[in-house]
Amino acid sequence: MTVDDKNIKVLFFGDLVGRPGRFAVRDFLAAIHSDSLAQVEKQVYDFIVANVENASHGFGLTEKNYNELFEYGIDCMTSGNHIWDKKEIFNYIDGADKLIRPFNYPANTPGCGSRVFETENGVKIGVINVLGRVFMSPVESQWTVVKDEIERLKSITPVVIVDFHAEATAEKICFGRFCSELGVSAFFGTHTHVQTADEQIINNMGYITDAGFCGAAESVIGMDYKTSLNRFTTVVPERYDVADSNVVQINAVEVEINSTSGHTVAIKRVFCYTDKSKKEEENEK
């Protein structure tokens, strides 16, 4: 089968939260190649994307963790408003060719807001990361700046993926439909860390409002329950801590895209739990 008539399989991981999220993804990717995880089938993906803005202790991304995630098999790392939380990001982001920061930051912002990747079988994939503006810090309007960039990517490849990092559900749905009309292949919402059950194909574009998160299942969207409770009940600022839990969860979305038309032909949510303590017990036997 030639590149022109091949469908490619893309896996998108929702926000990785801290070490539990990184290790959950590491173990998941190892398991799908060995067929050792009961909840998922053995799979081969052509392209793997993960949102990593919370990957280093819940806030930002260190260079060490960036390199680790690449070694796990992640081809592209998208981000969001927390990408700047680890100040060392400014030392390496311009040379991090797998990492994308939101496109609608001002033009002089370090890093790149979109990139074109190429799979092992020669399919080019454009990826653009975008921030929402409702209940978020002010950035350039995605409605005015993203259209030209999507069209530029479409001039290079028919396969274009958008990670829209936003708070408001209505903004995600509306911007998703807007992107579908521009010929985007797949649109993944991120940021709220709760996987939505609305995966669908809109105007040939794979869509989900939020892909969810990867990390500690016994948590408040990946963060420690007691810390979160104190913040809500006292309204006193307190630093969030990443939750430590034996049970971790994977939230991801799988799409199959025709590499000639750029159309999504299938979409499926991926959701599973893994109990680390039981896994350790099995390894000891």
Catalytic residue IDs: 82
Nearest CA to 175 among 129, 203, 142, 222? 142
The set of residues, in sequence order, having a beta carbon less than 8 Å from that of 164 and lying 6+ positions away, is 130, 132, 142, 172, 175, 176, 179, 187, 188, 189, 190
Is residue 149 within 8 Å of 128, Cβ to Cβ?
Answer: yes
State which H helix or E strand residue 92 sits in. Answer: helix 89-92
Long-range (24+ apart) CB contacts under 8 A made by 137-142 are 137/81, 139/102, 139/104, 139/105, 140/104, 140/105, 140/106, 141/104, 142/103, 142/104, 142/175
The tokens describing 264, both together, are 């999504």
Q: What's the rounded Cα separation, in Å, for the pair 1 and 168? A: 42
Say how many C-beta atoms besides its own lie within 10 A of residue 234's C-beta.
Answer: 9
CA distances to 14, 55, 144, 217, 239 from 212, in Å: 5, 14, 27, 12, 22
Is residue 52 within 8 Å of residue 61, measured between CB atoms? yes
Q: Are 37 and 31 in contact (CB under 8 A)?
A: yes
